[in-house]
Structure 1
Amino acid sequence: MSDARAAREPGKRRLILWRHGQTVWNLEQRYQGQTDVPLDETGHEQARRAASLLAGLHPTAILASPLRRAADTAQALADLTGLPVGYDRDLIERGGGAWEGLTGREIRERYPAERAAWQPPGGETSAQVAKRVGAALDRALDDLPPTGQLVVASHGAALRLGISHLLRLPEETWERLGGLSNCSWSVLTEMRDGGWRLTEHNAGTLPEPVLSDDRPDTGP
């Protein structure tokens, strides 16, 4: 732990974890993973709308996955706030291996056992993603001042697992945290002991099915 981090007054910082806007592959229910799929027209509109709301939180820094769907989502907020966007490749989505580009139906039919375990052949494990994304968030938070407000634009599975890391949840409980809809966000606030509390989750949307690469909440 750095001296600056040890000396920081706890309980003041806020972290807003923001999923990217809609893509054509989201609509087609294709597993995107680390494939660099851009936002569609609706996704750009979602990003602009969400950015207008998030700007009201007065962010002090913006960080993003370099995949275009996340980077362009972050840019919508940068355009409003004038803040630069930083990038960290450790914030990219879970590697989907053989599943990337396949629809949910194709995954069910071709990989029934792997889907039941939600482990894409040749892809990353949940633990690997939590460690990778968690490390990126930890680095960013080390540089965040005592009253900083950091917005991170990333991906559904990456963010859910990153939240699990920050909350220090045991792996067997990670599935209890629901997914994020396109262009929705979660808010974590710093506690006085230096830990983090989830104060909002999947904000900015009405309750509806989440179209994501993340593990389905229900269904076969």
Structure 2
Amino acid sequence: MSDHPVIVTVTGHAEREFAPNRCTVALRVHADGTTREHAADPVTAAIVTLTDLVTELRERNNSPVTRWTFDQVRHSRHRPYSKDGKTRPWRYTSSASLTVTFREFDAVSAFVDTASEVEAVAIANLNWWITRKTREKRMAKVRDLAVRDALAKAKGYTKSLGYSDFRALAVADPGMLGLQPGPSPGAGGAPMMRAMRSAAASASEENGPGYSLEPDRITLSADVEARFEAS
């Protein structure tokens, strides 16, 4: 057993999975035709239907929808060419996009099912995420676990020397103490999410009305550098 204190500099890592508390559904509205009206009319009708659907959800008590956005309808045209280079008649296109953010996931399945049945509407993506305030609380927990991991590592390094008292000299973000740790899974504290678009599409096609969407849990991770004096 040594009578002299020793300085131990280590890294700590932690990660935990958390359930998302928001889901943003992205919808794409698109139609084309031989005239502007043929392209625009289905899109306009779809926008009215979707707006009514979202408005009804927003006006409920304890609405499951926190916010929604609508991108204005865009119109364009192009003139295709045949294989021999001759011009063909004009083709007209109209499109728009909407996003609807839910806090109640039970309402997502019903909304996706209803919206996907509307002509000219396609479900572009489902994004499961954690709000900033909740994410900060979750990250505080994960960072604390990373510091605990660093302390446990320091104790492990000095166990054979008989040290039992540890005093923290510094705790810092990666790189601040001059360490160069190898990459850790999910390093950086960024949420890691698996894609849900294909799962939503397959569920809609295979099961029809009444299916449920199960979001993947989101992994939050943290890395720290720490320096301890062991005695």
TM-score (norm. length: structure 1)? 0.28
Structure whose alpha-carbon radius of gyration is higher: 2
Q: As a proportion of its length, which structure holds more strand?
A: 2
Q: Say which structure, 1 or 2, has more relative contact order (CA 8 Å, 6+ apart).
A: 2
TM-score (norm. length: structure 2)? 0.27
